[in-house]
Amino acid sequence: MVEQQLISRGIKNRRVIDAFLKVERHRFIPGGLKISAYADHPVSIGEGQTISQPYIVALMTEYLDVSESDRVLEIGTGSGYQAAILAEMSKQVYSIEKFLSLAKRAEALLQELGYCNIRIKVGDGTLGWQEESPFSRIIITAATPAIPPPLVEQLSEGGKMILPQGERFSQVLTLVEKQNGELKSELICGCVFVPLIGEYGYKG
């Protein structure tokens, strides 16, 4: 997977590659679908949700440019795989999931795998995690029509946020940097994610 899907498509950051080599993706895929764990596409994880294609997880992580001192907020815990990759590379990961069942499963697995630097909460991630803000990195792993304003507030000065922004069935992966209180955006590529459902996301 790492050689054929990531390195061959241009993923270069050694810390991203090392995290992918270390985190066992099959642990994050439920039951009978484990056979597809390393396949080049998203896989169902229950509740109508998916774990993203490995390359997209790697691309988002590479653009996010995570360092050992970063405090990262993830919106959309899902299986917990992206959180584990981020936890390998950063100081602390905070992750918010809308579905209790997914959050519970991810939390139990991440605990079993020994991650002490990931906190998960159930709720509407479009509101962010005010008490733990600011965050130097934010990643939204579901499609959003616009950047939720609370997440802009909770991003620290000089911080970076990556998100799939656009229409419900077609988005553009976008990197946002906060500089002097202003947002600077870079469009990366087209993508398709499940929707972010919440106050500042899609409505149901």
Catalytic residue set:
52
Site for ligand SAM contains 124 (CB under 6 A)? yes
Q: What SS3 class is residue 26?
A: helix
- Other beta carbons within 10 angstroms of residue 48's beta carbon come to 8
148 contacts ligand SAM (rule: CB under 6 A):
no
- Cα dihedral across residues 154, 140, 203, 99: positive or negative: negative
Q: Give min distance, CB of 179 to ligand SAM, in A.
A: 27
The correct pick among 20, 55, 63, 99 for binding ligand SAM (CB under 6 A) is 99
User: Amino acid identity, residue 26?
Assistant: H
What is the full DSSP assignment across 65-84? T--TT-EEEEE--TTSHHHH
- Taking CB under 6 A as the binding criterion, the range among 12-20, 61-69, 90-98, 181-189 that sits at the site for ligand SAM is 90-98
E strand or H helix at 153: helix 149-154
Task: Specify whether the backbone of 185 is left (phi greater than 0), alpha (psi in -120 to 50) or beta.
Answer: beta
Q: Is residue 76 within the footprint of ligand SAM (CB under 6 A)?
A: yes
Number of residues that bind ligand SAM (CB under 6 A): 26
Pair 106, 120: CB distance under 8 Å: yes
**Among the listed residues 81, 115, 129, 135, the single contact to ligand SAM using CB under 6 A:** 81
Of the listed pieces 11-19, 73-81, 155-163, 179-187, which binds ligand SAM according to CB under 6 A? 73-81
Shortest Cβ 14–ligand SAM spacing (Å): 21
Contact pick of 59, 60, 75, 162 for ligand SAM (by CB under 6 A): 75
CA separation for the pair 154, 142 (Å, rounded): 18
Specify the length of the chain in residues: 204
Judged by beta carbon, residue 35 or residue 158, the one nearer ligand SAM is 35
Residue found under tokens 């994880």: 45
Kindly list the residues in this chain that would bind ligand SAM in the complex (CB under 6 A): 49-52, 75-76, 78-79, 81-82, 96-99, 102, 124-126, 141-142, 193-194, 196-198, 201
